[in-house]
Amino acid sequence: MERPNAWKNYTPEDIEKLNDLSARYRAFLDGGKTERECVKETIALAEAKGYRDLAAIVKAGEKLKAGDKVYSNCMGKAIMLFHIGKKPLETGMNIIGAHIDSPRMDVKQNPLYEDTDIAYLDTHYYGGIKKYQWVTIPLALHGVVAKKDGTVIDVVIGEDENDPVMCVSDLLIHLSREQMTKPAATVIEGEMLNLIVGGRPIEEEEGGEEGDGEKKPDKDAVKANVLKLLKEKYDFEEEDFLSAEIEVVPAGKARDLGLDRSMILGYGHDDRVCAFPSVDAILSLEETPETTCCCILADKEEIGSVGATGMRAHYFENAVAELLAASGSYCELKLRRALTASRMLSCDVSAGFDPNFAAAFEKKNVAYLGRGVCYNKFTGSGGKSGSNDANAEFIARLRGIMDDNNVAYQFAELGKVDQGGGGTIAYICALYGMEVIDSGVAVLSMHAPMEVINKADLYEAKKAYLAFMKNA
């Protein structure tokens, strides 16, 4: 059941739409390299389409009705969009859900130090990465610093063309005989991911004790100079690192890839290549839908969906309860019915077949770049451990929706059965009893600093998510 390349069936109108979507997606990638930035970008897009903050509606005691559009912001790191439908909420929702965190390095809470006239920031990697891929590439700092007085400072260093960048060093090949004998997992170890941030000592001040005119060199003068610069630019002290969330990500913009510009090379395709078309799809709903539609963008998927902003938390359930209350019909039973009766696409990326590493894949059951949105009946590892396993009846209905709406799609597994595996948020949402299947875009070099997707798959994902919300 080999699927054709989607490009072969595109009309000039399709190509125009595909190029427009791809350009807007690249802008989303460039402006949203962290989950906080993705939430800000999403709120701006949603408010431009008439969405209002659910918290403000609840506080004002307003009532919701069919056609209303609201969003619920969870700590600035996760967000849900709801387009209220004509049917009662307890009959279920059509849900598309992705995650907006990506593998990276996080700056530790006590990070800044100097060693032999070089200043460093100590980091802790986040999510599954090949650590050796993160050395000697230009890196940027994105995040926030929260001060004791309640001020929250946004930090972005390394993206403007006039900004400096940071990097992690590697051992020169001339002295790497011992290093090159190590397994790839330990060539660069976690505690070696130290970010170079300075190499110039602070200027010494005139005048020692009692004005003797001598210059007194400062201890850790390079570190002191970095702190001076941070104070001047961002007005925060070294202790403010304790309440900071600063992420280290690849510097620079996403780029068209290939002489034919058919692909995009960029940081964070996993999982923003699913998050963006999910948002774009729900914002494309011009008429009041029959069934309430929901788009979830979750945090912390890369580390197990834990914490207050991960999908294991109850913010989604709480938001649905607020919707019921604002609709004038809340009760616990209706909330349970609404969740159980819902249908969901868990929108996460899948492993694209890479001819360079063909041995890791089973070619009959793998996603191919350019052949459309990918559905994974199950994920997990080994014997489907840790996965959601979608029902055949749900898949059959889904196939009908995709075919009726001319969506190019394929079904796949992550790779060979005993090769490895991975998970998504699907199994968490399935705990409510709703129908869930994984649906996403095939990616090359997944979890590398720069990943690859095909524009056709992005375009078909948007079509698939829109068709699902209208017809599921």
Residue that is written with structure tokens 């014997």 in the block: 383
pLDDT tens digit string along 281-304? Answer: 999 999 999 999 999 999 999 999
Does the structural domain 6-102+267-471 have CATH classification 1.10.287.70?
A: no
Q: What is the DSSP letter of 386?
A: T
User: Region 105-131: what's the mean pLDDT?
Assistant: 97
Residue 1 burial by Cβ neighbours in a 10 Å radius (0-12, 13-18, 19+): exposed
pLDDT of residue 218: 64
Give the integer Cα–Cα distance in Å for 354 and 444: 7
Give the integer Cα–Cα distance in Å for 405 and 57: 35
Does the structural domain 104-250 have CATH classification 2.170.270.10?
A: no
Asked whether residue 118 carries a pLDDT value surpassing 70, the answer given is yes
For the record, the structure tokens of 34 come out as 């962290």
Asked if 247 and 253 count as a contact pair (C-beta separation under 8 A), the reply is no
pLDDT of residue 387: 85
* Helices and strands in the chain, H and E counts: 11, 22
Asked whether residue 223 carries a pLDDT value surpassing 70, the answer given is yes
Quote the pTM value. 0.94
Output the CA–CA distances (angstroms, integers) from residue 232 to 229, 236, 259, 270, 398, in the order listed.
5, 8, 44, 35, 56
What is the pLDDT confidence band of residue 1, given thresholds at 50, 70 and 90? confident
Q: To 10 degrees, the CA torsion angle through 381, 391, 275, 248?
A: -20
What is the pLDDT confidence band of residue 205, given thresholds at 50, 70 and 90? low
264: helix, coil or strand?
strand
Output the CA–CA distances (angstroms, integers) from residue 286 to 234, 243, 283, in the order listed.
42, 42, 8
User: Region 221-228: what's the mean pLDDT?
Assistant: 95
pLDDT of residue 90: 95
From the list 453, 445, 369, 450, the residue with the least C-alpha distance to 412 is: 369
For the record, the structure tokens of 448 come out as 């590398």
Asked whether residue 206 carries a pLDDT value surpassing 80, the answer given is no
| First-to-last C-alpha distance (Å) of the chain | 24
Asked whether residue 209 carries a pLDDT value surpassing 70, the answer given is no
Domain(s) of CATH 2.30.250.10: residues in the chain? 104-250
Give the integer Cα–Cα distance in Å for 61 and 55: 10
